[in-house]
Structure 1
Amino acid sequence: MIEAIVFDFGDVFINLDKPATFDGLKKLGATEWNHDLDQLNQQFEMGKISEDDFLSGIQKHCNNATIPEIKKTWNAILADFPLYRLEFLQMLSQKYRLFLLSNTDAIHIARFQKKVGETFYNDFYHCFEHVYFSFEVGMRKPNIEIYEHVLNNHSLEANKTLFVDDKLENTEAAKSIGMHVWNLQVGKEDVVDLFEKNIL
């Protein structure tokens, strides 16, 4: 019997345009998504470096494009958040304990809040018992410690908790500690299909 559901954010609730950011960075002079950029991203997602250090780090790969240009390009990944998903989540919150667990950074969350407006994002956050952003907790998926952190903080039993994420490496990590999982296939499935999966 599932009692709690832990959701990812990007491509589960908010749609992502993943090529948009790198296409934009290429226009600013970046030649490839390399190890250095990947490390910058991971460090920023775990709150290990400041926004200024992150943006100036990217700037070195972009022919010294301006910081506002880089920030706008970084946020190009954020697409729309369909209202029907929020309505589904509000319904679900009446039946289950809900949590949000997202690998994300301060720039994206600030942009999301501005993009959807105060009422929408408050309604969204209020569906969850707690919201976990990687940059705030200093950990990121698929590291086991972040799943255990959520479970332990709320006295959740892994075998009574469902984890929903679009990345296989993240759902496999959750499965390895006994959580039920749904590896949502972006473009083929939608989070509102949850009851059709026969996992609740």
Structure 2
Amino acid sequence: MSHKKIKNIIFDLGGVIINLDVPKTYKSFAKLGGMSEHQVIAMVESAPFFDDYEKGLISSVTFRKCIRRLLKKNLSDEEIDQAWNDMLLDIPVERLSLIEELKGKYNLFVLSNTNDIHIKAFNEIIHQSYDLNQYHGLFDYVYYSYRINKRKPDTEIFRHVLDEQNLIPEETIFFEDNSDNIKGAGSLNIQTHWVQSNKLNLGFIRDEFL
């Protein structure tokens, strides 16, 4: 794959910019609900409200009510938010430093399936290791699924970014850790690079794009 024509770089957020450990949230919900982790995973995979929340179709208040019904526990907002945010780990500053190097040489974007509770926690993590305004200044635009009512891997979310930013797919590369989302982007001829979760290859990006 040649990257010589690339003018636009889109980064996923979780597992690419911020490290993730999704099983930590499953374990936390299991502990709160007094059930096994396998039971929690099965319920999460069959419950549509998680996708609805990431599409911004339900509020955080409704999401928490759904969690209480799912776990059959009268949990506090704080207990739910903590468990939900347990999957969010650190943001290696060297990743942000590399993006700083790319700024000005490429059009840079973030495209993430996420939600209001996670973004508030993410912003706090940014504050601890970086600067929130400086972070947003790295990118031409940041797209969060819950704000635009679209979610990966649906092609409409990729079309939304391409059309709004007037991007040519063949001149655009997407760094993503989810194979289904890679396929969604690739179906529109967006170049893609699969990131093994939490292992963004900084050396590869520096060699290929700087």
CA shift for structure 1 position 193? 3.1
Tell me which of 47, 51, 58 is aligned to 2:60: 51
* TM-score when normalising by structure 1: 0.92
Q: In the TM superposition, what is the alpha-carbon distance from 1:142 to its structure 2 partner? A: 0.3
The CA deviation string for residues 70-100 of structure 1, in whole angstroms up to 9 with x for no partner, is 1111010110001111100111112100010
Q: Any conservation in 2 of the 1:59–1:67 contact (CA below 8 Å)?
A: no
Shift of 1:124: 1.6
1:96 corresponds to which of 106, 109, 113: 106
C-alpha distance in 2, partners of 1:72/1:107?
A: 10
**CA RMSD of superposed structures (Å):** 1.9
- 2-structure distance, mates of 1:68, 1:131: 27
**Identity percentage of aligned residues:** 33
Aligned to 1:84: 94
Q: Deviations over 1:136-167 (max 9, x none)?
A: 00000000000011001011000100011001
Normalised by the length of structure 2, the TM-score is 0.88
Are the equivalent residues in 2 in contact too, given 1:14–1:80 (CA < 8 A)? yes
3-state SS in 2 of match to 1:132: strand
Paired residues, what number?
Answer: 199
- Any conservation in 2 of the 1:99–1:129 contact (CA below 8 Å)? yes
Give the letter aligned to residue 26 of structure 1: A
Pick from 20, 27, 39 the counterpart of residue 23 of structure 1.
Answer: 27
Q: Aligned AA for 2:80?
A: I
**Structure 2: gaps spanning 5 or more residues:** none
Distance 2:103 2:135 in 1: 11
Q: Which residue of 1 aligns with 2:205?
A: 195
Distance 1:22 1:75 in 2: 11
Letter in 2 for 1:40: F
Letter in 1 for 2:177: D
Report the Cα distance in structure 2 between the residues aligned to 1:198 and 1:89, rounded to whole angstroms: 13
Does the Cα contact within 8 Å between 2:44 and 2:50 map onto a contact in 1?
Answer: no
